[in-house]
Amino acid sequence: MAIFEPGKVLRTNLGEPITVDSFIASGGQGDVYKVTYGGKAKALKWYRPKALKDPDAFYESLKRNTEKGSPDRAFLWPEAVTERTEDSFGYIMDLRPEKYKELAEVLVSSGGGGFRTFKAVVEACIRIVAAFRVLHVRGYSYQDMNGGNFFIDPATGDVLICDNDNVAPNGTYTGINGTPQYMAPEIVVGAAKPDTHTDEFSLAVVLFMLLCASHPLEGEHWAVPCLTPDIERMLYGSRATFIFDPVDASNRPVRGIHNNVLKRWGYLPEYMRTIFLNAFSREAITNPNKRVREINWLKALARFQSDIVRCPACDNEIFIINAASTRCDKCGKLYEVKHTLKLYEYSVTAAKNTRIYRCQLGVCNADEALTPVGYVLAKPDDPNVLGFRNVSRTVMSATTPSGVTRQVKDGDIIPLKPGIRVEVFDGEIMIQ
- Which residues in 26-65 contact another protein (CB under 8 A)? 26-29, 32-34, 41, 43, 45, 48, 50-51
Q: Is 220 in the site for another protein (CB under 8 A)?
A: no
Burial class (CB in 10 A: 0-12, 13-18, 19+), 296: middle
Least Å distance, CB 290 to another protein, is 22
Instruction: By CB under 8 A, tell whether 199 contacts another protein.
Output: no
To another protein, the closest distance from the beta carbon of 347 in angstroms equals 20
Quote the Cα angle for 406-412-418, to 5°. Answer: 60
Site size toward another protein, by CB under 8 A: 116
Identified binder of another protein from the candidate list 11, 53, 73, 409, rule CB under 8 A: 73
Contact 424, 359 (CB under 8 A): no
Q: Does 262 bind another protein (CB under 8 A)?
A: no
**CA neighbor of 204 nearest in space, from 186, 221, 181, 227:** 181
- Selected from 37, 118, 244, 280, the binder of another protein by CB under 8 A is 118
Nearer to another protein among residue 153 and residue 247 (C-beta): 153
Q: What are phi and psi of 63, to 5 degrees?
A: -60, -45
99 binds another protein per the rule CB under 8 A: yes
Is 69 a binding residue for another protein by CB under 8 A? The answer is: no
CA 255 to chain centroid, in Å, comes to 28
Site for another protein in 75-94 (CB under 8 A): 76, 93-94
The order of strands in the sheet holding 80-81 is: 9-11, 17-26, 30-37, 40-47, 90-93, 80-81
Is residue 107 close enough to count as binding another protein by CB under 8 A? yes
The candidate with the shortest Cα–Cα distance to 301, out of 289, 290, 292, is 292
CB-based contact 346:323 (threshold 8 Å): yes
For 236, phi then psi, to 5°, come to -100, -5
Binding of another protein at residue 310 (CB under 8 A)?
no
Among 89, 115, 276, 335, binds another protein (CB under 8 A): 115
Task: Identify which range of 150-158, 168-176, 276-284, 286-294 contacts another protein by CB under 8 A.
Answer: 150-158
Q: Contacting another protein (CB under 8 A), which of 15, 229, 246, 403?
A: 229
Q: Nearest approach, Cβ of 279 to another protein (angstroms)?
A: 19
Side-by-side strand order, sheet with 413-415: 355-357, 372-379, 382-390, 413-415
What amino acid occupies position 251? N
Among 19, 36, 117, 170, binds another protein (CB under 8 A): 117
- Asked if 105 touches another protein (CB under 8 A), the answer is yes
Among 57, 137, 192, 257, binds another protein (CB under 8 A): 257
In one-letter notation, the amino acid at residue 300 is: A
| Amino acid, single-letter form, for residue 382 | D
Nearest distance from C-beta of residue 63 to another protein, angstroms: 19
Find the binder of another protein among 148, 277, 278, 394 (CB under 8 A).
148
CB of 25 to another protein, least distance (A): 4
Q: Which is nearer to another protein, 172 or 353 (CB)?
A: 353
The answer to whether 16 contacts another protein (rule: CB under 8 A) is: no
Out of 11, 53, 84, 263, name the contact with another protein by CB under 8 A: 263
What distances in angstroms separate CA 92 from CA 147, 151, 178, 336, one per listed residue? 22, 18, 23, 51
Write the CA distances from 224 to 233, 250, 253, 313, integer angstroms.
14, 13, 12, 44
Rounded distance between C-alpha atoms, residue 234 and residue 179, angstroms: 15
Asked if 194 interacts with another protein (CB under 8 A), we say: no
User: Taking CA 424 as the corner, what is the angle to CA 367 and CA 349, rounded to the nearest 5 degrees?
Assistant: 90
Q: Which of residues 328-387 bind another protein (CB under 8 A)?
A: 329-330, 353, 355, 370-372, 374-375, 377, 379-381, 387
Minimum distance, C-beta of residue 249 to another protein, in the bound complex (Å): 19
Decide if residue 414 touches another protein (CB under 8 A): yes
Of 58-66, 254-262, 273-281, 340-348, the window that binds another protein (rule: CB under 8 A) is: 254-262
Among the listed residues 11, 84, 116, 293, the single contact to another protein using CB under 8 A: 116
- 273 to 302, contacts with another protein by CB under 8 A? none
Among 16, 83, 232, 423, binds another protein (CB under 8 A): 232
Q: Give CA–CA dist 280/200, Å, rounded.
A: 11
Q: What angle do CA 418, 423, 424 make, to 5 degrees?
A: 125
Among 75, 151, 276, 280, binds another protein (CB under 8 A): 151
Which conformational region is residue 283 in: left (phi greater than 0), alpha (psi within -120 to 50 degrees), or beta?
alpha
Distance of CA 26 to the CA centre of its chain: 26
Spell out the residues 6+ positions from residue 127 whose beta carbon is closer than 8 angstroms to its own. 74, 157, 158, 159
Residue 204 is a binding residue for another protein (CB under 8 A): no
